[in-house]
């Protein structure tokens, strides 16, 4: 009877820990996408997105985050393309960051030639007009995060990969 009891307890601990990280991840992508929607074409948009994600993931170890993508979703059901998910930034589609970008100086952002951080999906190229006559419709910006949850007891495996995304239409700044 004792082995079954401990199996149940360890199972609850493992699933609970993974669920906590999944909720943290969900909160982080939502926070990042909201910030991206509001900041949109601001030169520091991606910096602000990363800072929002950084604040939202405090419940998970920073080392567990593998990638943070800021991408042009193209619509409400958009996902990053395969190259982005593989960790390669694609011009006009996505910027790929690692947790090291949380600590980058804000002056390194803004699509500056000297830095590669946000030049692939440059904030200044994001559409923020409401109507087609003025360059709209607005982009749909997405944030996608991939992280590795390490199991505590290793009873059901070493780790599991968790991913989540949120997409939000950019808040229009003009008609």
Q: Is residue 144 part of a domain?
A: yes
Q: Is residue 110 part of a domain?
A: yes
Confidence of residue 97 (pLDDT cuts 50, 70, 90): very high
Q: Is residue 78 part of a domain?
A: yes
46-59: average pLDDT: 95
Q: Is residue 175 part of a domain?
A: no
Evaluate if residue 90 carries a pLDDT over 90: yes
Q: Is residue 174 part of a domain?
A: no
What is the number of structural domains in the chain?
A: 1
Q: Which domain holds residue 158?
A: 2-169
Q: What is the DSSP string of the chain?
A: -HHHHHHHHHHHHHHHHHHHHHHHHHHHHHHHHHHHHHHTTSTTHHHHHHHHHHHHTTTS-GGGEEEEEEEE-SSTT----HHHHTT--BTTTEEEE-GGGGGS-GGG-SS-TT--TTSTT-GGGS--BSSGGGT-SPPEEEEEEEEEEEPSS-SS-SEEEEEEEEEEEPPPSB-
Angle at 85 between CA 84 and CA 90, to 5 degrees: 5
Q: Determine the pLDDT at residue 1.
A: 80
pTM for the whole structure = 0.91
Q: Is residue 92 part of a domain?
A: yes
Evaluate if residue 151 carries a pLDDT over 80: yes
């Amino acid at each position: 009877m004792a082995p079954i009891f401990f199996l149940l307890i360890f199972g609850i601990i493992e699933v609970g820990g993974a669920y906590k990280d999944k909720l943290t991840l969900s909160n982080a992508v939502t926070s990042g996408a909201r910030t991206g929607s509001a900041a949109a074409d601001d030169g520091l948009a991606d910096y602000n997105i990363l800072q929002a994600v950084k604040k939202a993931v405090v419940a998970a170890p920073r080392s567990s985050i593998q990638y943070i993508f800021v991408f042009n979703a193209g619509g409400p059901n958009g996902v990053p393309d395969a190259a982005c998910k593989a960790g390669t930034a694609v011009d006009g589609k996505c910027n790929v960051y690692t947790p090291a970008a949380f600590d980058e100086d804000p002056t390194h952002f803004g699509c500056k030639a000297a830095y590669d951080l946000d030049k692939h999906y440059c904030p200044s190229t994001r559409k923020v007009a409401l109507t087609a006559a003025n360059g709209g419709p607005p982009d749909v910006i997405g944030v996608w995060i991939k992280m590795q949850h390490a199991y505590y007891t290793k009873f059901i495996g070493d780790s599991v990969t968790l991913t989540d995304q949120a997409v939000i239409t950019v808040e229009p700044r003009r008609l």
